[in-house]
Amino acid sequence: MYSDLTNQERAEVLTAALPYIRRYNGKVVVVKYGGNAMINEQLKQQVMEDIVLLWLIGIRIVLVHGGGPEINDLMARLGKKPEFVDGLRVTDKETMDIVQMVLAGKINKTLVNLLEMKGGKAVGLSGMDGRLLQCTVKDERLGFVGEIEKVHIQPVMDLLDRGYIPVVSTVGCDKNGNAYNINGDTAAAYVAGALGAERLIMMTDIAGVLADRNDPSTLIPEITLQELPALYESGVISGGMIPKVECCAAALSHGVRNVVIMDGRVPHSILMELLTDEGAGTMVSKGKA
């Protein structure tokens, strides 16, 4: 614990972080916030503290969030049963109203308030604000689930330039103003790409990409785009990890320098990733051209 360190040891910890602070100062880092770190209250407080700390040392942080469990909870209270196809929520008009209320309303404003209470300056946006995330229908079977067509990133840039932490909920709209539910990982990848982010951090409930999915000690610390086909073929990347890695590849193709898939259940994992040599999770990079 930091409180157990001597003053000299504390000074050494801060000094060791200096090269990383210098590296990321003024750079954009996008955090996709979800999983258990969003449900567990203690983890939620720590994540907000970490984001404010990074903001205070000059990193331009953008927080992109989903909120599946809270959507499911409200649907259950309203007597609606969630339905999924290929891992995506089937979203009829009534469900879309619930999604919009939960994501753009309750969760977004709760996170903004938490960041402010921790000493940050934050403003909430949905993908509908300024047509930030303009969509088309992804699949007729899914209803109001959006495929991102265009990203109008200016609202986010304006907030960053004014010293705020933008907090983006993953609700978009089409050119006719219809609201759409958007996969959170996909939205974060497109936002990070449009910003040319230095790094996209995707918080999950596993350590990262594992050579043996049942053994966290087999974490693969770094993979390149060139290595992905073999990892798909061997089954190392399978199931729910496939769409996450595909989002990583999309972010890289749109201009993000590096993407990290990491375990949001580990306290202060964002700080470990950005401010230490070891990092956290699996980094996905472009590799050699």
> In sequence order, what are the residues at sequence separation of 6 or more whose Cβ sits closer than 8 angstroms to the Cβ of residue 60?
26, 27, 28, 29, 160
For residue 272, the model assigns a pLDDT of: 85
Q: Within a domain: residue 6?
A: no
pTM across the whole model: 0.91
First CA to last CA across the chain, in angstroms? Answer: 43
3-state secondary structure of 73: helix
> In sequence order, what are the residues at sequence separation of 6 or more whose Cβ sits closer than 8 angstroms to the Cβ of residue 68?
34, 89
For residue 69, the model assigns a pLDDT of: 86
CATH code of 95's domain: 3.40.1160.10
Q: Within a domain: residue 2?
A: no
Q: Within a domain: residue 92?
A: yes
Q: Within a domain: residue 269?
A: yes
Q: Within a domain: residue 253?
A: yes
Q: Within a domain: residue 173?
A: yes
Per-residue pLDDT tens digits of the chain, which is 289 residues long: 555 667 777 788 778 888 888 889 999 999 999 877 788 889 899 999 999 999 999 999 999 998 888 898 999 999 998 888 877 788 999 999 999 999 999 999 999 999 999 999 999 999 999 999 999 999 899 999 999 999 999 999 999 999 999 999 999 999 999 999 999 999 999 999 999 999 999 998 888 888 887 788 888 888 888 888 888 888 888 777 888 888 888 899 888 988 999 888 888 889 988 888 777 788 888 876 5
- Domains of the chain: total: 1
The rounded distance, in Å, linking the Cα atoms of 274 and 20 is 7
Q: Within a domain: residue 46?
A: yes
Backbone angles phi, psi at 277, to 5 degrees: -65, -40
> Where in the sequence is the domain holding 28, given as residue range(s)?
24-285
Q: Within a domain: residue 124?
A: yes
Are 185 and 172 contacting, i.e. CB atoms less than 8 angstroms apart? no
Residues annotated as catalytic (active site), given as ranges: 32, 35, 68, 185, 244
The rounded distance, in Å, linking the Cα atoms of 105 and 103 is 5
Token pair 């331009």 in the structure block, residue: 60
Dihedral sign, Cα of residue 88, residue 237, residue 216, residue 53: negative
For residue 263, the model assigns a pLDDT of: 86
